[in-house]
Each structure stands twice: as structure tokens, then as C-alpha cells.
Amino acid sequence: MSTWALWPSIAGLAVSIVALVLAGSRLARTADALADRTGMGKAVAGALFLGAVTSLPGIVTTATGAFEGDAAFALANPIGGVAVQTVWLAIADLLYRRANLEHAAASLENLLQSLVLVALLALPVVAYATPELTLGWVHPVTLLLPLLYAYGLVLVRRMHEAPMWSPAMTSDTREDDDQDANPRSTSRLWGTLALLALIVGVTGWVIGQAGLGLIAATGWPSGVTGFTVTTAITSLPELVTLIAAIRMGALTLGVGNIIGGNVFDTLLIFVADAAYTEGSIYQAAGSPSLVLLGGTILMTTVLTAGLLVRERRGIGFEGVAIPAVYAGTIALALSTT
């Protein structure tokens, strides 16, 4: 495909922002209702319904970059998606003024998902160290990502059904209301979710083409552009649904949306490796992408510590450290480009 020019790329990104904001505002209400109807719990519903659907723009953007032969851009999108969505939690912490968000949204499922996310992000580090190992053109470690993701969901579901630990409940802890007040039928809710998924998926293709056009027109580094510009846009549904969930009082659903979306985004690394057929994607992406991956693992570890420590007031140490690590990671990646 021919690369889009600068102004069509900017226009495509602008239209995508509007579409994703509008779709994201509906997603939280739909997922909240489906969580009540299915009885699977807010954290699991946030991971499956919101996490998967809001990750669709990133999936299509990642695949577009890989098919176009830009390895750094393709890998930076899933990694950057995890990073910027973690920053969204720090922003939401500022909006929720009653208490620390990680304290109020106490959930063992979200804590377990964070640990699964660290494990999933560690696998590509092994692949970066051994780029010569391939099955066809795909690294064997990449093939482990879907398996570990599926097993992680099994563990989260098991913990929801029979928890062996429980967070200490305080006056600032907010449990999501499981009362179903949505008048629409279950079939209409599923239809709405499917329609919203289609909208955000098409928008992802536009963002991918516009991002590649922006790189070609400006000469910006592919990895950093994918880590910042395009992922900030593809991750807008997560931000919108997070804010909507907080306003509805569904804190566990909102945090589960972000963490579940981050876990799902690691599968995009599998998409990138499978769609990039010009050799080892890890070798082609280069050292800046490894810097972005390391910084993202550190951000996830800080978030996990915040979920465990649960400071009661203010934004907590994680609310300060996560944006700082994000900015430092971008600066370090630029210095190695």
C-alpha cells in the first residue's frame, strides 16, 4: 500500500480520536450490564469484554505496521499500549478524589492479572536475547504468549469463584454494585458490544495507516512514534471507559478494564511476530524497542506494588512513579535511536 501523506494522516488520527471517544463512552455501560447478566464478576468482565474490545484498535494498528514491514512500529504498539494504559490509571487516580484508586478498587483478580502481565512481558525479553531461534519466521517464545494468557484467565476465574485470600475492607473500599438496572435485553447488549467492536476495529486500521504516514512524512523514529502517538490514540477507549466506570462507581470494572486490556495487549506481540514475515521481528526492531519493553515491565511492577500496598489517601507512590518511568523510558529510547 502507498503511504498516506501528512495531512490525510493527521485528519485520520483526528477522526479516530472522535470515534474512539464516542465508542468508549458506550462500552463501559454495556460491559457493566453484561457483567451483571453473566455473573462472571466485574474484574473478569473488565478483562474479557472491555479489555478485548478496547484492544481491537491496537490489534489492527499492530498488524498494519507488521504487514507494511515496520518491525519497530509493530512491536512498539502493543508494548506502548500497556505503558500508556498504565499511565491512564495514574490520571484516573487524580480524578477519583475520595481515596487512592488502587485502594478503593480492591480486587485479588486485578492483582493476579498484574502478575500474569509481568510474566507475559518477560517472555519477549527472552526472544530479544535469542532472535536467531525461529519456527518459520515466528520465534517459539512468541507462541507461548497465547497459552500463558489462556492459563492466566483460568487462574483469574478460579480465584473469582473460590478466593483463598481477601483484601482488607476499609471505609474507602468500594465494591461494585452487581444490581442489573439496564433495560435492554441480553441479546441487544451483545449486539451493541459487537457493533462497538466493529467501529473500534476499523478505526484501528485508520490509525495504523495514519501512523505510518506520519512516520514517513516527519522522519520520527518508528518505535517511539508507535509507543507514544498511535498507542495514545488506540488506547483512548480504555481511558474513556475507565472514567465512565469511575463515574458509575464501578471501580473494579474500570481498573480491570485497564489491567485486562494490558494483559490482552501482550497477545498483539504474537500478532506482530506472525504478521512480520521478513525475518526475526525482534532483531529488526532493534535495541530501542527493548528499552521500551523494559520500561513497561517496570511500570507494571510499580502498579502491582500499588495494588498490593493500597495507600489510602492521595495518588500514592504508584501515581507519581508510573508517569515518571514512562517519561524516562521515552527519553532513554530516543537516546538510543
Q: Classify residue 48: in a domain, yes or no.
A: yes
* pLDDT value for 325: 96
Give the DSSP letter of residue 175. Answer: P
Burial (CB count <10 Å: 0-12, 13-18, 19+), residue 258: buried
**Residue carrying the nine cell digits 500474569:** 116
The pLDDT tens digits of the residues spanning 97-146 come to 666 676 666 678 888 889 999 999 999 999 999 988 888 889 999 999 99
Q: Classify residue 140: in a domain, yes or no.
A: yes
* CB proximity list for 119: less than 8 A, separation 6 or greater: 148, 152
Identify the H or E element spanning 52. Answer: helix 51-54
* pLDDT value for 50: 64
Using pLDDT thresholds of 50, 70 and 90, give the confidence band for residue 169. Answer: low
Q: Classify residue 63: in a domain, yes or no.
A: yes
Nearest to 114 by CA among 290, 296, 294: 296
**Residue carrying the nine cell digits 524516562:** 328
CATH of the domain at 49: 1.20.1420.30
Identify the three-state secondary structure at position 46: helix
High-pLDDT (> 70) share of the chain, %: 83
How far apart CA 42 and CA 250 sit, in angstroms, is: 8
More confident residue, 191 or 75: 75
Q: Structural domain of residue 135, as residue ranges?
A: 6-165+186-336
Please give the average per-residue pLDDT across 174-200, as a whole number.
Answer: 70
* CB proximity list for 50: less than 8 A, separation 6 or greater: 27, 28, 31, 238, 241, 253, 256, 257, 260, 261
Using pLDDT thresholds of 50, 70 and 90, give the confidence band for residue 215. Answer: confident
Q: Classify residue 287: in a domain, yes or no.
A: yes
Using pLDDT thresholds of 50, 70 and 90, give the confidence band for residue 173. Answer: low
Specify the number of domains making up the chain.
1
Q: Classify residue 201: in a domain, yes or no.
A: yes
Neighbours of 29 (CB within 10 A): 18
Q: Classify residue 179: in a domain, yes or no.
A: no
Q: How far is CA 331 from the centre of its chain?
A: 21
Q: Classify residue 180: in a domain, yes or no.
A: no
